[in-house]
Structure 1
Amino acid sequence: MLRLTLTEESAMPAPQNPFKAALQRGEMQYGCWGAFADPYATELMASTGFDWLVIDGEHAPNDLPTITAQLQAMHGYSTHPVVRLPMGEDWAIKQVLDAGAQTLLIPMVESADQARDLARAMRYPPAGIRGSGAMIARATMFAGVENYVATADAQMCLLVQVETRAGIDALDEILLVEGVDGVFIGPSDLAADMGHLGDSDVPEVQEVIRNALGRIAASDKAAGILATDHEVALRYRDWGAQFLAVAADVLLLAQAARATVARWRDG
């Protein structure tokens, strides 16, 4: 096994973000939601071949230690970790970036100003406000990559979630924000905000989603969305989704377990 000397490591830039590079090349990226909040399950999912896996901190029981453990568990696999925070606070962004995350998914973005603030929180001065204490953090291999601070900004990938009527109204302005790499439409919350709680398949909601994905795809940003139903996922892909989540780990297990029980009960 090749082992770099400290001098060789120190000259290295921040690791390339393969997910961001793939989006920039226009390549489809198929993903999965990770909600077990457990590094063993996350490593299993990382071994399956998905292009990206969400480590969900909004609706799964994750915090900074569990997110860090899952980033460690995914190290060395081709599946790219996308960390979803429950909010876009500067301090929370700083912590997960120092833990080694390069791609963040931030929910409930409703304005260009909010998107600009998020982009600044992910970058070092003068482009942003990220604190430069990463030398003691996992992101720099614990000071093993001294060139990290000078090169990290280019590898940061910001995905903002637009999932309310206010966000849809501000979409064109959000698409102009430098530092935003992709816009993710949240069907469930969008449907709820439009008065259709629990039903994103109603024609009114679907038309808003179709229009939004098309507008994003026509911009220089990548369009993203989640659909665990195969036919719905195909429809969203046809409408312009480039980073498409097609499954959720907890649902995969729950559905397989229920189907197994049903076969035996019915038999």
Structure 2
Amino acid sequence: MSDVLPAQALGTWVKLSSPTTVEIMAHAGFDFVVVDLEHTLLDLGTAQTMISLARASGLAPLVRVPDHAASTIQRVLDAGAAGVLVPHVDTAEQADALARACRFPPHGTRGAGSTGHAGRWGRLPRADYVRYGNEQVLCIPQLESAQAVREARAIAAVPGVDAVFLGAADLAMDVGRSDVSDLLAAARAAAGDAGVPVGSAAGSPSAASAALDAGDAFVICTNDASMLAAAAADTVAAIRRGSTATS
């Protein structure tokens, strides 16, 4: 992963439809962004613009795809994404299909599309285009169920899986309780046994710092929409308090 993300990489979700968000996150100092196609109405055209702007701004552009469709993964990677996060991966068989969708033959099933962004519109030598796709594009399954935790070691050991991402919120929904720390610890240990890095999400700076201190290779901290909402609410509250104090 070091060729794509630095050690202890810090990123955020991009959910708003304005590509300007990506540039703002670059200036803020994030290492990467994850364009979220699962929980937003963002389309592939907007995602491509965000990917291009992220690369131009020095950010690694990852994309969370909405499903397991190989066609979606291929289009996102053709658009220049540095990798994909794939939701709800519960078995090694699913992980293998996803990893193969990210790789060119003989390692996978991805079709060649070197005339797009990933191939510099046909200007990148074919050998370099194929090498990048097979060696540097990140395939990151999301573990978000009790079954996924049970299968974590097998999923992480699948050739072509570069890291696993722990989806604590959906895991809590799946098992019906809010405290899933034991399950997350088991998944981290299983991935470690397979020699695969772990990523996680954090809702606050303190939680992100704790995850990095605990050894997670990358952390996705909050998102552009929530940061805007919190800043707006804090601004209004501060003005109201100041107005009341001086009246």
Are 2:59 and 1:79 aligned? Answer: yes
Query: Contact conserved, 1:49 with 1:78, CA < 8 A, in 2?
Result: no
Are 2:157 and 1:157 aligned? Answer: no
Which secondary structure does the structure 1 equivalent of 2:85 belong to?
strand
Task: Say if 1:231 and 1:150 are closer, same or farther in 2 by CA, change over 3 A.
Answer: closer
Query: Contact conserved, 2:153 with 2:194, CA < 8 A, in 1?
Result: no
Equivalent residue for 1:67?
47
Shift of 1:182: 0.5
**RMSD across aligned positions (CA):** 1.8
Equivalent residue for 1:49?
29
Aligned residue type for 1:229: S
2:162 to 169, 176, 181: 181
Equivalent residue for 1:139?
118
Which secondary structure does the structure 1 equivalent of 2:34 belong to?
strand
Whole-Å separation in 1 of the counterparts to 2:31 and 2:51? 15
Relative to structure 2, which stretch is displaced further, 64-73 or 213-222? 213-222
Q: How does 1:71-220 map to 2 (within 5 A)?
A: 71-132=51-112, 134-147=113-126, 148-152=128-132, 153-196=134-177, 199=178, 202=179, 205-220=180-195
5+ residue gaps in structure 2? 243-247
Query: Contact conserved, 1:47 with 1:79, CA < 8 A, in 2?
Result: no
Task: Say if 1:186 and 1:177 are closer, same or farther in 2 by CA, change over 3 A.
Answer: same
Shift of 1:166: 1.1
Equivalent residue for 1:29?
9
Whole-Å separation in 2 of the counterparts to 1:81 and 1:139? 12
Task: Say if 1:241 and 1:17 are closer, same or farther in 2 by CA, change over 3 A.
Answer: closer
Equivalent residue for 2:245?
none
Shift of 1:47: 2.5
Whole-Å separation in 2 of the counterparts to 1:237 and 1:219? 19
* TM-score between both structures, scaled by the size of structure 2: 0.91
Task: Say if 1:263 and 1:80 are closer, same or farther in 2 by CA, change over 3 A.
Answer: same
Whole-Å separation in 1 of the counterparts to 2:125 and 2:86? 28
How much identity, in percent, do the aligned residues show? Answer: 32
The one-character-per-residue Cα deviations of 1:94-119 (angstroms, maximum 9, x if unpaired) are 11111111211111000001000011
Shift of 1:217: 3.4
Aligned residue type for 2:64: R
| Aligned structure 1 segments of 4 or more residues deviating by more than 3 angstroms | none
Whole-Å separation in 2 of the counterparts to 1:154 and 1:122? 10
Task: Say if 1:95 and 1:65 are closer, same or farther in 2 by CA, change over 3 A.
Answer: same
Shift of 1:129: 0.6
Equivalent residue for 1:10?
none
Which secondary structure does the structure 2 equivalent of 1:254 belong to?
helix
